[in-house]
Amino acid sequence: MKRFPILALGIMLLIGWLAMPTPAHANVTELVLHTRTCGTVTAFILYDTFSEGTSPFWAAFAVDLNGNGVFGEAGEPVRYVRVFPTQGQAEAIGMRLTFPALPEGSTIAVTAYEVDSAGVPVSPQISPVRYQCKHRPAKDPLPPNTDIAVPGVGIVAKIRVAAVTVFDGPSATFRPLGGLGKGTYVNVLARNERGDWLQIQFKGQKGWIMWQTQAILFGPYATLPVLPNVESPPAPTAQ
């Protein structure tokens, strides 16, 4: 008879444990930098092999070279490694990033995150690792700097056709601002509701390109701000 209270307590504990919320998966964690100079850096992350979203999945390594806290803008390296969810043993993933060498003593920072094939970030950005560069390689492991705020991630379009016209609105009826050649990278600021036009940074101002057949997007582009569709410029006002 004395066993019943113990058994009841065990059942209550089991029910309580099953009712507890499942802890969130971090997906990619523990960013550490190894060999690093003013033009290269080797980074490693730990991937827990658990991913949700639209496959395939990619671990992204992104660099901030200008110190503005946005990683992977046009002109800053971003590298992608395909990862394969197994929900098994965690694995280390490494990547060597290269970029035009900065002056010695420059500050360089690296972050990482996971993104799915729909451009949705499926893992929070890792707190970045920052270092003062030297041309002579430093090889000691450098762990995260906990004083750095969680970074922003740049979304970039790469032009894949010979020439793309940039307009001052999301339609070919707007005024042309200039053009972009094949292989050009530009920072993306927003998209229209229909998703066929992108607002970009262009020569110190904002422009628009029709992108779906003319450019490739990189980064968590599902997070882009959405602006209204506009089919034609506003009519001129009477003077």
pLDDT, tens only, 154-199: 999 999 999 999 999 999 999 999 999 999 999 999 999 999 999 9
**pLDDT band, residue 238 (cuts 50/70/90):** low
The 10 Å Cβ neighbour count of residue 88 is: 10
Rounded Cα–Cα distance for residues 219 and 58 (Å): 10
Structural domains of the chain in order of their starting residue, each with its CATH number: 28-153 (2.60.40.10), 156-227 (2.30.30.40)
H helices, E strands: number in the chain: 1, 18
Q: The whole model's pTM is what?
A: 0.84
pLDDT at 12: 39
Q: Which residue has the tokens 């990862």?
A: 83
Torsional class of 222: left (φ above 0), alpha (ψ -120 to 50), beta (otherwise): alpha
